[in-house]
Each structure stands twice: as C-alpha cells, then as structure tokens.
Structure 1
Amino acid sequence: MGEWRGSYYCGQGQTGLTLTISRNGGALTATFEFYPLASNPDVPRGSFAMRGTHTGTRMDLSADHWLERPENYLMVGLSAEIAGKSPQKITGTVTDADGAESDSCTTFTVEKS
C-alpha cells in the first residue's frame, strides 16, 4: 500500500505522521513514525511497528513493538474505512494500542506520497 504522510491528534496536539504500510493478502504490517510539525514543534520523534488487517473497506492496525520510543509516549492503533482500490487519502480514528477507543486521541489523516 506504500507510504502515506499526514498528521494525527492526541494529547500532545497535532503531530506529524508517516505511515508505511505493506500488505500480504489481508494481513498488514506498518511502521508508524511521528514527529513535530511547525504548529507543534515540541513533539519528539519516535516510531513503532504495527500489525493489522484489511478486509473489504476496513483497515485496522494495532501497535506491535517500539522502534524508537520517546520518554512518556505510548503506542496507538489506527482504524479507517478505505474507499476504492487506489485511495489517495485515508482518514480514520486513532485508537489505543489494542484497537479500543482512546481517551486522549481522536483522528488521523494521511495522503499517498
């Protein structure tokens, strides 16, 4: 599925996001990289691996393990409806690491890069 760039919203505010997704049938693996934006320059950089599924139009990704963990940060999950066979944009919900509704995070939006 490739590389996607955009942002997500959690307790620290709007945060930059690069999501790199690989697909093997309905199974997905991904790397979630986060970083500061000009509007929120104090966010640290970090990254973690994800695993998930893509069935029909639904994509669900859960946190797997840290690649680069900043102090006091937690991993999150992502859930989205994906329209069409070649989407250029994905918008969805930031969940907790196990895919449940998050208390401190809301949405994410990424575009194909």
Structure 2
Amino acid sequence: MPPPRKQNSAALLVVVVLTIVAVLTAVVIVYVVAQKKDNPRPSAPVATGQAPRTPRPGGIRADELSGTWTGTYTCSGRVRALELTVMPSGDDLEAEFVFYPSAELSGEPHGSYVMSGTFGGGVLDLKGEAWIDQPSGYVMVDLSGVPARAADGSLTLTGTATHCDGVTITKPAVP
C-alpha cells in the first residue's frame, strides 16, 4: 500500500495556491484604496446626473460640443454657410448639417442631412448618414476637426470636409 503523501501533497498545493491568491487580492485592494485617498475624483452633481461644467485644463469635453455651431465651409471654390447642431447620443454624437447660401452665393440651394460620429483624442469626426432635404446634384460631406476654446469661452472648430477645402464653425460660450 503506497503512502498517502500524494493526496496530502495535492491538498497542500491547493491551500498554498489559494493563500497566494488571497494575499495578492488583499494587496490589490489596499493599493486601490490608497490610490483613491491620494487622488480623489471630483464629485459630479448628484441631483442632475450631469458632469461638472468646469472644463479640464487644456481639454474640451464631448458634452461641450452639444449645441448650434455656425460658420462656413468651402466646396468647389465657393464658400457656403453652415449651421451644425450637435446632440449627444449615448457615447456618440449626432448632428444636423444645414447648408445654405452665403452672402456671396445668394442663388445657391440649401439642404440638410443627419450625421453621426465621435469625439475622441480631441478630434470631432462626423459622417453623413441620411438626407433631410437634398438639393439636386449635391452629396453629403463628412467633417473632421479639432475644437479649440477662445478666451471668451466660445469654441471654434477648424477642420476638413470630404470633397471640399475646409470648414470653420463657432459655438458661442455657454453662460
């Protein structure tokens, strides 16, 4: 009859492994608690569920992009007026792109379409999705740009529009 050492060795191995796991878990918990004490997170308002209104230093939050932006974009060498209304949609953004004749192009048609996109790494990317009002011969343009905050708190986005030369739109500061 062989000695019962193998069963005892297996049981001892299980106990050692479980002890190591328990010790490592305790170390991780202590580390996380210590980090939270050293770097407390700012508290968001509980009543409204909204993020704090103060901007991060050097950054713009996605919720700050919501609202109406106005400006121009240039296509085929012609400047067109643009109104872009941005709305949150879960973790993404939706927008309505409305173009109309600028002062220089009074006879040009107007149109509008729905866009969807993201804001990450400081870059706003919006893609045309569906026409609301499509003038004959027009195609949707996608937008990509980097918003910047002016001294007065307004935001200006300078970027590109597919098939076009560029776009510059501004959103007034929120009081």
Asked whether the 8 Å contact 1:35–1:44 carries over to 2, the reply is yes
How many Å apart are 1:25 and its aligned residue?
5.0
Cα deviation for residue 50 of structure 1 reads 0.2
- TM-superposed deviation, 1:56: 2.5
CA contact 1:57–1:83 (8 Å) conserved in 2:
no
Residue 59 (1) aligns with residue 124 (2): yes
CA distance in 1, matches of 2:141, 2:124: 14
Which structure carries more relative contact order (alpha carbon 8 Å, separation 6+)? 1
Matched, 1:38 2:95: no
Query: In the aligned structure 2, how far is the partner of 1:12 from the partner of 1:58?
Result: 25
Identity among equivalent positions (%) equals 38
1:69 paired residue among 99, 117, 134: 134
SS in 1 for 2:105: coil
Partner secondary structure for residue 142 of structure 2: strand
Richer in strand (by share) = 1
Partner deviation per Cα, 1:36-75 (whole Å, 9 max, x = no partner) = 0111112101000000000120110000000001011101
TM-score (norm 2): 0.56
Structure in which a larger fraction of residues adopt helix: 2
Give aligned pairs, total. Answer: 104
Residue 94 (structure 1) aligns with: 161
Larger radius of gyration: 2
Moved over 2 A (4+): none
Q: What TM-score do the two structures reach when normalised by structure 1?
A: 0.84
Indicate if the aligned counterparts of 1:26 and 1:54 stay in contact, CA closer than 8 A: no
Q: Which consecutive residues of structure 1, in runs of 5 or more, have no partner in the other structure?
A: 96-101
1:21 aligns to 2:86 (yes or no): yes
Cα-to-partner distance string for 1:71-92 (whole Å, 9 max, x where unaligned): 11101100001235x6521111
* Structure 1 SS opposite 2:104: coil
Contact 2:100-2:108 at 8 Å conserved across structures: yes
Which residue type is aligned with residue 34 of structure 1? F
Structure 2: runs of 5+ lacking an equivalent: 1-65
Say whether 1:8 aligns with 2:67: no
